[in-house]
Amino acid sequence: MSTPAGVPVRPGKIIAVHVAYESRSAQRGKRPSQPSYFLKATSSLAASGDAIERPVGTSLLAFEGEIAIVIGTAARSVSIDDAWTYVEGVTASNDFGLYDIKAPDKGSNLRSKSRDGYTPLGPNIIPAAEADPQSLRIRTWVNGEVKQDDGTSAEQLIFPLTQIVADLSQHMTLEPGDVILTGTPAGSSVVAPGDTVEVEVTATSASTGSELSSGRLATNVVEGSGEFDPKLGSAPAVTEALQADAWGSREEAGLAPDESATGPLSDDLRAKLTEAPTAGLSAQLRARGLNNVVIEGVSPLVPGSKIVGTAKTLRFVPNREDLFKSHGGGYNAQKRAFDSLKSGEVVVIEARGEPGSGTLGDVLALRAKAQGATGVITDGGVRDSAEVAGILPVFATAKNPAVLGRKHVPWESDVAVACGNATVLPGDVIVGDDDGVIVIPSSLVEEVVDAALAKEIEDGWVAEQVAAGNPIESLFPPKGEWKEKFDAWKASQ
């Protein structure tokens, strides 16, 4: 198996960055605060011109054009300022992934991205001494059509290439020949047998001003044999969420939108609920025998916030170390819940009124917003509260910097939950404002909101009469003569 000059056939490590580009972050609705990584097997390395197999029975083979850093000198605990001096050079790479088998990996990407041939690299190395790490360009073509075109400026990368090298070096020794795949920009999508994917990295020579190129890294996609034995481990499985991620969007995947632009509530109904105060809605629910529909103890991070939507429920159980070990890491119930949100939904979190740790932070808030969620209700704490407050409406009991595992284990979603002493079922209608948050059974929402708005009109007329100096006896609510006056006024409107 041929490889670029200066890169061993079996480098000691291939390290990949999850998300590093602003464009990819915007596309995915996930903007990490620190870089995160995963390992790829060195046996996945391939050269330009090699073929990549998509196994029979799978359909979600996705390309990810990336800039690959090749380490030249052993680096341990180096600074950002010095990091580039430890780099031999950069070249083109393609971080292929098979999304059909991604879910069981829970973020490690071991099976989905470490298959033979899934890390093409090369064909040439651009010397690091000649390349400004903030002035590189990466482009990816599929069958001759440009699909990715991005760069490494401060405006384009979340984490500078030098930061990635320095950060990794504080955790391990980066050895000569090690390869770092530095993340993919927006535009990654699915390819099929018969397609050809090309990736090129270019830079302007620091000494001559001429363009330097890695050359085009070409990979041909072919049909592979079926090789998954479900008796041995996980078999391929496709969900709509995986399809959307692999293709880049539900639209690109050919999937119908999750809901209309406003979600399961009609435009008219959503507008009525937005206009109606929770105090009025609560009174109408009480008139129908429902007294325990207030989510107690929560308040908006930003006063004046309004939330209207249908409930997407998430339940945490009290932390127990063995259970957090089995359920807290990887692609846990919390992450799955936020990834499966539909437009117009509100995340309702059961955290047992425990304020001693955060139940979401800025990354999950970004994901919720990208999915079209209208807000989050939690009877626990919120991390990154200032950032979260600027992303979408959130009602919580407290602000707390601690991570989830201090008090909670993410357990399950889409079940009945107890949030702020109120039972919430998936699909219940949630309305929140400065007075609090209430839960409306979906079967009652139309009549409740219509009655609440009618009462608002009456209360507004009563307030005008009281402001004019009239006593409240027989006026609040209108009775007798006052009722006749109100009815006459209403008929005239």
φ/ψ of residue 106, rounded to 5: 50, 45
Q: Is 183 annotated to bind ligand? A: no
Q: Is 384 annotated to bind ligand? A: yes
* ∠ Cα 6 52 193 (to 5°): 150
Strand 145-151 vs strand 217-223: parallel, antiparallel, or unpaired? unpaired
Q: Is 174 annotated to bind ligand? A: no
Angle between helical axes of 445-467 and 278-287 (0-180°, round to 10): 120
Place of tokens 């219940």: 428
Q: Is 361 annotated to bind ligand? A: yes
Q: Is 362 annotated to bind ligand? A: yes
* CB-count burial class (<10 Å; 0-12, 13-18, 19+) for 72: buried
Are 118 and 97 in contact by the 8 Å Cβ rule? The answer is yes
Strand 375-378 vs strand 394-396: parallel, antiparallel, or unpaired? parallel
Residues in the chain: 493
Distance (Å, whole) CA 203 – CA 5: 18
Output the furthest CA–CA distance in the chain (Å, rounded): 96
Helices (H), 17-118: 22-28, 80-83, 110-113
Distance (Å, whole) CA 289 – CA 292: 9
Angle between helical axes of 445-467 and 267-275 (0-180°, round to 10): 40
**Three-state SS at 320:** coil
Number of H helices, E strands in the chain: 13, 30
Helix, strand, coil shares, percent, the chain, to 5 = 25, 30, 45
Are 162 and 84 in contact by the 8 Å Cβ rule? The answer is yes
SS (H, E, C) 413-425: ECCCEEECCEEEC
* CB-count burial class (<10 Å; 0-12, 13-18, 19+) for 155: exposed
Structure tokens at 227: 């090789």
Please state the residue numbers annotated as binding site. 361-364, 383-384
Please state the residue numbers annotated as binding site for substrate. 361-364, 383
Please state the residue numbers annotated as binding site for Mg(2+). 384
